[in-house]
Structure 1
Amino acid sequence: MTAQVGLTVTHRRYVPYNHAHYAGNLVDGAYSLAMFGDVATEVCVVGDGDEGLFASYSDVQFKAPVRAGDMVEATAVVTRVGSRSRTIDFVLKVVCRGRPDRSESAAEVLADPIVATTATGTVVVPG
């Protein structure tokens, strides 16, 4: 079993309020990177039958804030397959956003998801 270019994995997760670290209920960028690690692990399991190891990021861009109360979606797409390494493009989008201006528990599905974080990374799997 070897991963193929185009293999895609997506996870969705609610961002709990205990992850807010900054004013305005902002969440640190490490939250996005942790989700990228999770989808990368699934890519390795699905594509290679092993959890693999995350080796490096070659590019990370924080494009929009992630806030507590958001529902986010992390997607990983394999873009290159080497003998033991796989290059993966990652995108984290905010797909739902809390609306505390309406009520404490109000939220809405975003018609146009917000791209919050992008990255390119490399994972390695046993040979």
Structure 2
Amino acid sequence: MTDDPRLGVSVTHRRYVPYSHAHYGGNLVDGAYVLGMFGDVATELGIRTDGDEGLFAAYEVVTFHAPVMGGDVLEATATVTRVGRRSRTVAFEARVVCRATPAVSASAATVLDEPIVATTATGTVVVPG
């Protein structure tokens, strides 16, 4: 359905990434952290478009483009790209919008002039019929 009002609806969440989530050398955060954010933003998207949290059925593709680090502020967006009878295809994008600058001081950070696209994905959400 190309005229479905749910098509193109987007939801965005922002979250500070605590240093305690950095599990790897160089202060890197695992990709599962971003996937958790995608699940949260998909839940709100389902509530807004269908009045139900729905169930996440599958990711068709997940691509990690850039690292997420402790101290980042991460923005995750979910957008409905296809509406079926009970399924919704959702495009996801996670962007780093602020990054810690420990070389300046232990608590220094900067707002990035251009957000860094860290992760993109496409997934399917199923709603009750």
Partner of 2:108: 106
What SS does the aligned partner of 2:120 have? Answer: strand
Q: Quote the RMSD (CA, aligned, Å).
A: 1.0
Q: 1:86 corresponds to which letter in structure 2?
A: R
Q: TM-score, normalised by structure 1?
A: 0.97
- Give runs of aligned pairs for residues 2-41 of structure 1, distance below 5 A: 4-41=6-43
Hey, what does 2:74 align to over in structure 1?
Answer: 72
The code of the aligned residue for 2:123 comes to G
Q: For 1:46, what is the secondary structure of its paired residue?
A: helix
What is the TM-score of this pair, normalised by structure 2? Answer: 0.96
Partner of 1:55: 57
- Gaps spanning 5+ residues in structure 2: where? none
Task: For 1:25 and 1:5, locate their aligned partners in 2 and report how far apart those are by CA, in whole Å.
Answer: 38
1:18 aligned counterpart, secondary structure: helix
**Equivalent of 1:85 in 81, 84, 87:** 87
Q: Which runs of 4+ in 1 moved over 2 A?
A: none
TM-superposition CA deviations, 1:101-125 (whole Å, max 9, x none): 1000000000010000000000000
Contact 1:3 1:44 in 2 (8 A): no
Unaligned runs of 5+ in 1: none
Structure 1 residue 3: deviation in Å? 6.4
Tell me how far 1:32 sits from its aligned partner: 0.6
What percentage of aligned pairs have identical amino acids? 69
Counterpart CA distance in 2 for 1:3 and 1:90 is 19
Specify the SS of the correspondent of 2:95: strand
SS at 1:37's partner residue? helix
Partner letter of residue 118 of structure 2? A
Q: Is the 8 A contact 1:3 1:46 kept in 2?
A: no
Separation in 1 of the partners of 2:30 and 2:13? 19
* Cα distance change of structure 1 residues 37 and 116 upon mapping to structure 2, 3 Å threshold: same
